[in-house]
């Protein structure tokens, strides 16, 4: 099943839930948040691989000869467990900080390696320039979240569900 994943920053879990599930909100203030849409980049496998590359400072040879480097990337914490509905997960602070601290040179080195993972290979939506933009978008969002003392979250929505929510096409 294809997923739509929106990564966003928010000051706390209540705000993160409110942004997509208003029934959780108990305040009248508009939350300070920002989002980045990253197509099918899930926060478990694909984002974990990117963070693993950034943590390991892997080279192409490391990946070529030994597969992806070992990494200890914490799993996101599920905040909304409903089946077949959009869910929100909170990314670990280590994931946020690894992305936030990545230098341009580290991102430039990681992007081509990340683009060669099986999830990207053969996917016409993820050529190397798109992967580089995704890395930069994630790192930028993480940096702003860290600077503001916020956490990063991911809204995961199964693709068929998104289609139901799209407005009808106009002529």
Each domain of the chain, given as residue ranges in start order, spans: 3-164
CB 32 within 8 Å of CB 11: yes
CB 164 within 8 Å of CB 4: no
pLDDT of residue 136: 95
CA distance 12 to 65: 41
User: Along the chain (171 residues), what's the average pLDDT of each consecutive run of 10 residues?
Assistant: 80 81 54 72 87 74 53 65 73 94 92 83 76 93 95 80 44 44
Q: Give the global pTM.
A: 0.77
pLDDT of residue 157: 78
pLDDT of residue 163: 41
pLDDT of residue 14: 81
Fold of 3-164: Hypothetical protein yfbM fold (3.40.1760)
């Amino acid at each position: 099943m294809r997923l739509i994943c929106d990564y966003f920053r928010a000051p706390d879990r209540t705000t993160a839930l409110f942004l997509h599930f208003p029934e959780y909100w108990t305040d009248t203030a508009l939350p300070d948040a920002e989002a980045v849409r990253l197509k099918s980049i899930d926060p478990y496998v694909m984002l974990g691989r990117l963070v693993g590359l950034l943590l390991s400072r892997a080279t192409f040879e490391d990946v070529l000869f030994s597969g992806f480097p070992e990494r200890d990337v914490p799993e996101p914490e599920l905040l909304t467990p409903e089946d077949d509905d959009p869910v929100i997960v909170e990314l670990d602070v280590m994931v946020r900080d690894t992305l936030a601290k990545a230098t341009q040179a580290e991102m430039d080195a990681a992007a081509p390696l990340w683009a060669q993972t099986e999830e990207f290979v053969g996917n016409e939506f993820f050529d190397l320039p798109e992967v580089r933009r995704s890395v930069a978008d994630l790192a930028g969002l993480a940096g702003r979240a860290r600077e503001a003392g916020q956490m990063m979250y991911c809204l995961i929505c199964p693709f068929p569900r998104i289609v139901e929510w799209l407005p009808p096409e106009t002529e």
